[in-house]
Every structure is written in structure tokens, then in C-alpha cells.
Amino acid sequence: MKHVTIPRANRVIGPLGEALAEHDLPPADTTRWVIRRKAEVVAAVNGGLLTSDEACERYQLSLEELISWQQAIHRSGMTGLRITHLQKYRDRGPNYNM
């Protein structure tokens, strides 16, 4: 089987239509995830600037959290990122009643 190397993107189109390079992404130590920062990470992953694994490692995210951001954008655009249920209820435990 032939090994195919997919070239890595140098820039992607960000959530507001601007060009994003890796140095334009949120800092690795980001703890306050506003809508724009989440959308930038999703754009970077979807555009091939970062892999899912790289984004999760860099930002200390679970794969489920990153996927939830991708799904929220797909369903509702950037406004879908307003509330991330995984973050909101993560520490409340399995017996928490919403």
C-alpha cells in the first residue's frame, strides 16, 4: 500500500473570514474559552492547520469537547458555541439533575 502524505495547511480561513496561521491561534494556556477562540480552533482543525490530536493536546481538551464544538458550529454557526454543555456540567457528577 502506498503511503500518501497530505500537505499541511499554512493558513486557513478563520471564523470571521480572516486568514489564520498557527501563530494567530489562541495561546496553549488558554483557560477562558470565548466563542471566537473556540471557533478559531475548530477552523484550524477543519482546515488542516492542526490535527484533532494536536488541538486536544495543545489546549488540554478532550476529543469529545472538540467534537462538540465542531458539531455546534455545524448546527448553529458561531452562536452554537455560546454554551458548551460539556464544560458547564463537567464537574457536577453523574447524579446532577439539570
Spatial CA neighbour of 28 closest among 70, 56, 51, 63 = 56
Residue ranges and CATH numbers for the domains of the chain are 13-90 (1.10.10.10)
The three grid cell numbers given for residue 14, joined into one nine-digit string: 478563520
| Cβ atoms of 14 and 25 closer than 8 Å | no
Over residues 30-85, the pLDDT tens digits come to: 999 999 999 999 999 999 999 999 999 999 999 999 999 999 999 999 989 986 55
Q: What whole-number distance in Å separates Cα of residue 76 and Cα of residue 68?
A: 12
pTM, 2 dp: 0.79
> CA 17, 18, 23 angle in degrees (round to 5)?
140
How far from chain centre, in Å, is Cα 96?
26
Note the pLDDT of residue 5: 72
